[in-house]
Structure 1
Amino acid sequence: MSPRTRTALRAGALMAVALVSGLVWWLIRYEPADSGTAAAPQQNPLTSGEFDYTRVAGPEISAGCAANAYGDVVGWFRRHPCEQVHRSLYETRAQDARALVSVVVVTMPGQTGAKQLKVTTDTEGTGNVNDLVRDGTANLPGAPNVATGEYASRVVGNRLTIVETQFFADSAGSPDLLGEIAHDALRLSAAAR
């Protein structure tokens, strides 16, 4: 065997060893997704943020968004039908204050509709989707009018989340605290799945 042939065989053998080693390393390093390893536990949206919430009414789920709205928003829904509206009421306590929190999640056919609805509901005086106390679905003695409190909204994909919150009359809390609750409660949209 010539020296050139021996060198070529050695190089080929080294390449084969490198290829097999690389394949073995890849198989060890990259396990299939369903290999039986436990997934991280999902967080509970009611307790995984700054404030803890207790559901006190709902969920009420409907495909009739116009029937569950008031003001200019009724006409908006008649021109742009939704797929679903999910409404719930929660209570939270912070410091010495107790607040009622309305969480409405509207699912539109597409993200554009959800963004347009957000612009409409974010505009003062245009109306909104009824909370469960306003339309009489929930009977909570002493419930505050959440529409007179703080407001927050967010679009994720084709879903618009609307939060309105107000302190109960027997509670004392600052407007800043109420605003923090409203923005924190946006995560409760995860409970509407």
Structure 2
Amino acid sequence: MGSPLTQAGLLLVNAIGSIVLLIVMMRFLLQLVRADFYNPISQMIVKFTNPMLIPLRRVIPGLGGLDVASLVLAIGVQYLILALILMLATGGANLPFIEMVGWAFVGILKLLFSIYFWGMLIVVIASWVAPGSYNPALILINQLLEPLIRPIRKILPDMGGLDLSPLVVMLGIQLAEVLVLYPLKQVLGIPSGLIMGL
């Protein structure tokens, strides 16, 4: 355990960094699924990320409808968060700058799994508590999740109005974390307890 000042610094870096990283990653995902641009939350995300993305897009063009610049920005933000956390935790001695590129990729992958897992949980709870809600956040989450749920919904048998596809997706995400993330962490030598993604 470090000093209270170090702990406070780690808390601030993790909290602020996670929020920025989440917003940047949401920009990438919402553009990927062609979510409603006029949704007030979409507008907030665009306004927040434009100052960082517009200069980056001059250097990194899109690729087949994929917003590569926002993905590169997300990896860059994750890399910066990791660097700051390690500097605060170790005093900045011998940071593994090259290895941290791989760690940043794993952090983005973990964040992706987290976004979809918690999104599915929110949708499931909202379908019980507020079915048919027109809340802008719920509309955006549904637009984000629909491309993932739709193919599974087609495969599952009719359960008399009960939609089990979100639960299947949540189970799939947890399996992917076990089968993909944990082996990657071991292969890349990511220190245990290092905060990745969200």
Query: Which category describes the TM-score, using the shorter chain as reference length?
Result: under 0.3
Which one has the largest radius of gyration? 1
What's the TM-score, normalizing by structure 2?
0.25
Q: Which has the higher contact order (CA 8 A, sep 6+)?
A: 2
Give the structure with the larger helix fraction. Answer: 2
More strand by share: 1
TM-score (norm 1): 0.26
